[in-house]
Structure 1
Amino acid sequence: MHHYQQQLKVRRIYTIIAIAVFLIALFASLNFANNANSGKFFERLPYLFDFIKNFVPDSPMEIVRAMFDLPSPYADGSLKYDYTSDRHYITDSVYIPNFFYQLVITLNIALVSTIIGTTIAFVLCFFASTNLVGAGAVRWFTRRIMEVMRAFPEIVIAGLLTAILSIGPIAAIIAITVHTIGALGKLFFEVVENADMRPDEGLRAAGASWVERVRFAIVPQVLPNFVSYALLRAEINVRASTIIGAVGGGGIGEVFRLSIGRDHAAKTYAIVILLLIAIIAVDQFSAWLRRRLIGQQSFEFGRGAA
């Protein structure tokens, strides 16, 4: 009992020391950030919500008009109230509102990037798995490639590519695809390494080739997890394509940057609402598709253990 009390006392001392070190590091980091911010962070903190309070449209209906490219009664010839000039006409009378059109571009960037990135990651992950290729040069080289691909954020890759390929969705697609390959490749090969190898041993004893062993022994086991990770990555890529749009990748991120930079409140709120609706819709569709592909029983409480 005395020994337990002594150990408990030592653990409490270590906990207090750890908390103190954490608080000191946190304070030092905040102080450094404040100095790097010209010493204005703490001074401006009480005014944090002033921008939101002052950044309001002339009328709530202006948000609807900006969203659907309808004429504004406040039109004065400036871009702030010019909602109709950016319409994308399908026929002489039918058009797609500009923000919806830009949102489709953003979703298209995310979808194409996810499909290409998932396909390449699917192929590479088997060459990076220790239980399939051992610890040789192929595994080492494949893993290093994927590490390089996910080492830099998508926005950094996109910034480099826009300087080479010019501004547009192509740079965004390549940037998100590269990061998707690196991120999904790691998740995929970790799933493969946790697969049951008894089916593989049986196929090997029957004389199956390496490709046949992967196809019939490994893929059926790991495919449900692969689908879940790919759908999760699709949701992430929607957000990434929006952010990349702000640095020249096209899509709704670019028009959002322009509208907020020009103090166009109605347009900004319309874009924010569209983004929220789109992200919620993508999340719900992803959850529905995951249930359809994997099976409803996997999501029912207590069924997995049975």
Structure 2
Amino acid sequence: MAAQTSSQAFSPRGALIEQHWQELASRRRTYSFIGLAILLIAVSGSLWFANETNAGKFFDRLPYFFDFFHDLIPRDGMEVVRALFDLPSPYDDGSFKYNYPEGRLYITESLYVPEYFYKMLETLNIALLSTLIGLGLGFLLCFLAARNLMPNPWIRGTVRRLMEILRAFPEVVLAGFFLAILSLGPIPAVIAVSIHTVGALGKMFFEVVENADMKAEEGLRAAGGNWVERVWFGIVPQVMPNFMSYFLLRLEINVRASTIIGAVGGGGIGELLRLSIGQGHEAKTLAIVLLLFCTIVAVDQFSAWLRRRLVGNQAFQLAQ
């Protein structure tokens, strides 16, 4: 009798819940249909714009899309190896102006670093230096932007707006601006990537700081520690593994950004890639693409391994 009474009492509530879930499902289907329709309209409009108003005439040139890849096929398999290591080529007619040995880095009279490896090291140097600058400045700014460490809204808001301005423009736009002022070379590329990295890392850093456990900071406050001591001893040990993880992630991104900036005059391997494509030298283009692919994969794998070591070791220490 009691079970029957309970069933009767809960059946209206169950019906209301079922009705509510049906309404939510119907609403989700409606929103999904509207979103899909908007997406189709946007894609159709973009394709129309590309075809009708773009000078390239998207659909007119689409049948020739694979011609570029066909032109990249070298005359023999060893031509890519010869291009990669600056070895003499039987097909070189002297028309490729930045050919060996001008771009080599000679260690001794006979021992040298091939041009593409040297330029790849230059690109990695730009990325690493820029990321280190971004790490240092972002580290200093993030604690001033964190709500749990900086109660003054004027200071916190000013620092956050500054970081938003620094990351508002893509690296290639900043590089074009500094290249116009400082001329061609890696220095404008370092400045451009560093500026964007400060804003990006600063944002990620202060979000990590705001999620930190404040018990250690409160204990240091009760013991009479000043603001710098509370941050250095109470917050930094907690957030440093995540800081290093974001630093390594940003390093991977900056390697790609440095390559793109090189194509617009910022030095490094990107400049040679642009020139090789413009000259129509298929073997050198494939050699640079292969070197870029291997380098980026190596950087990604090393960064992933180091992140696991850093975060894993910290987690193990906390578990102890």
TM-score, normalized by length of structure 1?
0.92
User: Are residues 162 and 81 of structure 1, via their aligned partners in 2, closer, same or farther at CA, if it must alter by over 3 Å?
Assistant: closer
The residue identity in structure 2 corresponding to 1:260 is I
Provide the aligned length of Structure 1 versus Structure 2: 303
| Greater CA drift, 60-69 or 285-294 | 285-294
Aligned partners of 1:295 and 1:39: how far apart in 2?
51
Asked if the contact 2:241/2:314 (under 8 Å) is kept, the reply is: no
Question: Residue 7 and residue 78 in structure 1: after superposition, are their counterparts in 2 closer, same or farther (change >3 A)?
Answer: closer
| Cα distance in 2 for residues equivalent to 1:196 and 1:297 | 15
How far apart, CA to CA, are the structure 2 residues paired with 1:82 and 1:224? Answer: 45
In structure 2, what is the equivalent of residue 54 of structure 1?
Answer: 71
Stretches of structure 2 that go unaligned for 5 or more consecutive residues are 1-14
User: Does 2:150 correspond to 1:136?
Assistant: no
Aligned to 1:209: 226
Aligned counterpart in structure 1 of residue 112 of structure 2, from 95, 101, 121: 95
| Structure 1 residue 296 displacement after superposition | 5.7
What's the offset of the Cα at 1:52? Answer: 0.3
1:107 aligns with 2:124: yes
Q: Following TM superposition, by how much is the alpha carbon of 1:51 offset from its aligned partner in structure 2, in angstroms?
A: 0.9
Matching residue within 300, 306, 309 for 1:289: 306
**Structure 2 counterpart of 1:3, one-letter code:** Q
Give the distance between the partners of 1:108 and 1:179, measured in 2 at CA.
17
**Is the contact between residue 75 and residue 81 of structure 1 (CA under 8 Å) also seen in structure 2?**
no
Contact 1:129/1:190 (8 A) holds in 2: yes
* TM-score, normalised relative to structure 2: 0.88
Counting only pairs closer than 5 Å after superposition, residues 27-42 of structure 1 correspond to structure 2 as 27-38=44-55, 40-42=57-59
In structure 2, the residue matched to 1:3 is 19
Structure 1 residue 6 displacement after superposition: 5.2
Aligned match of 2:197: 180
Q: Deviations over 1:124-173 (max 9, x none)?
A: 00000111111421111111111110000000001000111110100000
Contact 1:248–1:254 (8 Å) recurs in 2: yes
Contact 2:276 2:285 in 1 (8 A): yes
- Unpaired runs of at least 5, structure 1: none
Look up the equivalent residue of 1:141 and give its one-letter code.
T
Determine which of 16, 20, 34 is the counterpart of 2:37.
Answer: 20
CA RMSD in angstroms, aligned pairs only: 2.3
**Matched residue of 1:133: which SS?**
coil
**Match of residue 117 from structure 1:** 134
> Who wins on radius of gyration, i.e. which is larger?
2
Q: Are the aligned partners of 2:71 and 2:282 in contact in 1 as well (CA < 8 Å)? A: no
Q: Which moved more, 1:69-78 or 1:153-162?
A: 69-78
1:207-248 deviation per Cα after TM superposition (whole angstroms, max 9, x unaligned)? 100000001111011111101000000111111110000111
Question: Is the 1:245–1:254 contact (alpha carbons within 8 Å) kept by the matching residues of 2?
Answer: yes
CA distance in 2 between partners of 1:30 and 1:154 (Å): 27
